[in-house]
């Protein structure tokens, strides 16, 4: 990536003024969002005169409110309003408006600035109109006009923010972005690139923000190089992101295969010919191929992506695979199991150590999905043996040379016996008949699987008796001693 400017550095130093104010925070934030570049605003070149008030009443009060609102609207910038008392030494606010060119020249001489913004605030019923004329002291005979309307006096602050933005966009146009966009892209849509550019036309020129935009474009992954060009124009700066597109992938090949076919690797890599070269996608293909091999026990497989360039616009991609040998599980261990032996728990899980049949089956191969299922199997096993609070940690896998060692960490917790079993809710038979559906009461320890089967039998019984929507739910409660669990089966028979 290159960051380049065709123009000389800005000659004006960057300033920012901070003052305490009663200016509403929301409006201040709004102004900064409209004009984010004010964080690096150039030094003042414009005099803002206090507004002339055109109102049938309360002119003094409105003038004070307008002065405060204008000062606050200028707060995020390096600009300021001339004090009204000082302005009155040059201007007749009761006479002709706007000021004459001769008066403007006096103000320019006193302030040493290039532009004078003279405005008026007119109250029309409940609405207001703020109208500005901006004089370029080099050609005061051709002022610029800006006007904004507000719904009421209460909207004065927001209306002033808008008109101040208009004025500064003109007087600081040398530091504004007139247009911004990409060039050099033939295959990537300009709209897709522009959506990555946060800087917009009308924003202040801010090199730091433009650098972030450049990075965002480069991260798209479709370009060999991205550089910024900046040109001057009468409207402001023309910013162009010149991109050099990556070549098209003409062909994809796979070599070194034995355990899988090219079609299987192509499906895993998920990258095809006649697409723009994207290094992220190429690297994702490497990772996906490795994962595919690992699923079959090839833990030492090496995959590299090689690119060749037959011409400037095309590339050929080759995935080179060194499969290596399958890696088997040498040992499965359990720690924290005090109630069951390792052999008991090995009978519960699907993963297994390598044995004499491994050459014929997948026995002894480690599969991530199977390991996750084994955790669930162990949890269910313990739950069905009365361990309702058991915790099974994520299996730890260690590779030592050509072998894998797997460890399951278990926190068994207390073991609960079956306590009292009762029914509540809508019973269509007596307690004794209802108990005939239960097997849980014959268990020594609470068993979730047995309890589920009991619930299904009761649900079927209600359904056979016309209650197809019966809701049968077991509620468990630990006894005061914590040694057993009492079960209450609550039934809502629903409608016939």
Q: What is the DSSP string of 94-160?
A: TSSSS--HHHHHHHHHHH--SEEEEEEEEEETTEEEEEEEEEETTSTTS-EEEEEEESSGGGHHHHH
Beta bridge mates, 476 = 487
Residue showing tokens 């530091």: 175
Distance CA 168, CA 202 (A): 10
Distance CA 416, CA 431 (A): 24
Distance CA 33, CA 12 (A): 23
Q: Cα(first)–Cα(last) distance of the chain, in Å?
A: 73
Beta bridge mates, 462 = none
Backbone angles phi, psi at 21, to 5 degrees: -155, 160
Q: Is the peptide bond before 98 cis (omega within 30 degrees of 0)?
A: yes
Q: What is the DSSP string of 244-293?
A: EEPPEEEEEEEES-SSS-HHHHHHHHT--SSSB--HHHHHHHHHHHHHHH
* Cα Rg of the chain (Å, integer): 39
Q: How many Å is the maximal CA-CA distance in the chain?
A: 110
CB 15 within 8 A of CB 45: no
Which alpha helices (DSSP H) does 339-387 contain, by range? 342-346, 368-383
390 contact partners, CB below 8 Å, separation of at least 6:
378, 379, 382, 383, 410, 411, 412, 413
Helix 156-171, helix 25-34: angle, nearest 10: 30
Q: What is the pLDDT of residue 43?
A: 60
CB 399 within 8 A of CB 327: yes
Q: What is the pLDDT of residue 361?
A: 58
Domains, the chain, ranges and CATH? 11-172 (3.40.50.10070), 176-245 (3.10.20.310), 248-322 (3.10.20.310), 328-411 (3.10.20.310), 417-492 (3.10.20.310)
Q: What is the pLDDT of residue 14?
A: 26
Cα-Cα-Cα-Cα torsion 335, 338, 339, 345, nearest 10 degrees, comes to: 20
Instruction: Give the three-state DSSP class for 49.
Output: coil
Residue showing tokens 């297994």: 352
pLDDT mean values, one per 10 residues, the chain (496 residues): 36 29 39 44 77 92 94 84 93 88 84 89 92 85 89 90 88 85 94 95 85 94 92 88 94 94 95 90 96 89 95 93 91 96 95 70 76 95 95 93 93 94 93 93 94 96 93 89 89 87
């Amino acid at each position: 990536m290159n960051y380049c400017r065709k123009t000389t550095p800005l000659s004006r130093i960057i300033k920012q003024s901070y003052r305490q104010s009663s200016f509403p925070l929301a409006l201040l934030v709004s102004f900064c969002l409209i004009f984010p570049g004010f964080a690096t605003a150039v030094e003042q070149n414009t005099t803002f005169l206090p507004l002339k008030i055109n109102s049938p009443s309360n002119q003094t009060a409105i003038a004070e409110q307008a002065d405060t609102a204008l000062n606050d609207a200028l707060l995020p910038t390096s600009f300021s309003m001339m004090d009204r008392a000082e302005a009155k030494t040059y201007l007749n606010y009761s006479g002709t408006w706007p000021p004459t060119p001769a008066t403007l020249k006096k103000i320019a001489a006193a302030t040493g600035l290039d532009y004078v913004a003279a405005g008026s605030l007119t109250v029309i019923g409940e609405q207001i109109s703020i109208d500005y004329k901006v004089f370029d002291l080099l050609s005061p005979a051709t002022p610029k006009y800006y006007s904004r309307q507000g719904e009421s006096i209460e909207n004065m602050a927001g209306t002033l923010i808008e008109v101040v933005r208009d004025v500064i966009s003109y007087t600081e146009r040398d530091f504004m972005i007139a247009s911004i966009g990409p060039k050099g892209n033939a295959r990537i849509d300009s709209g897709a690139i522009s959506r990555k550019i946060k800087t917009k036309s009308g924003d202040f020129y801010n090199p730091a923000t433009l650098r972030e935009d450049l990075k965002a474009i480069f991260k798209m992954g479709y370009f060999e190089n991205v550089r910024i060009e900046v040109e001057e124009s009468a409207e402001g700066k023309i910013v162009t992101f010149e991109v050099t597109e990556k070549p098209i992938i003409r062909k994809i090949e796979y070599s070194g295969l034995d355990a899988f076919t090219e079609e299987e690797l192509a499906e895993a890599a998920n990258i095809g010919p006649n697409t723009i070269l994207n290094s992220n996608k190429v690297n994702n293909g490497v990772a996906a191929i490795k994962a595919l091999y690992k699923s079959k026990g090839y833990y030492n497989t090496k995959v590299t992506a090689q690119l060749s360039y037959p011409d400037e616009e095309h590339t050929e991609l080759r995935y080179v695979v060194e499969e290596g040998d399958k890696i088997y599980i040498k040992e499965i261990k359990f720690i924290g199991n005090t109630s069951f032996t390792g052999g008991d728990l090995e009978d519960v899980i699907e993963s297994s150590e390598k044995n004499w049949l491994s050459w014929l089956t997948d026995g002894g191969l480690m599969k991530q999905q199977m390991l996750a299922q084994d955790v669930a199997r162990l949890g269910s096993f313990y739950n069905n043996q009365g361990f309702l609070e058991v915790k099974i940690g994520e299996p730890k896998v260690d590779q030592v040379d050509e072998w894998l060692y797997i460890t399951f960490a278990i926190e068994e917790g207390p073991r609960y016996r079956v306590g009292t079993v009762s029914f509540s809710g809508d019973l269509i038979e007596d307690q004794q008949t209802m108990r005939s559906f239960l097997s849980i009461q014959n268990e020594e320890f609470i068993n979730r699987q047995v309890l589920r089967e009991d619930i299904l039998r009761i649900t079927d019984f209600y359904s056979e008796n016309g209650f197809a929507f019966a809701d049968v739910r077991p509620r468990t409660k630990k006894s005061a001693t914590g040694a057993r669990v009492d079960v209450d089966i609550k039934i809502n028979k629903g409608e016939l």
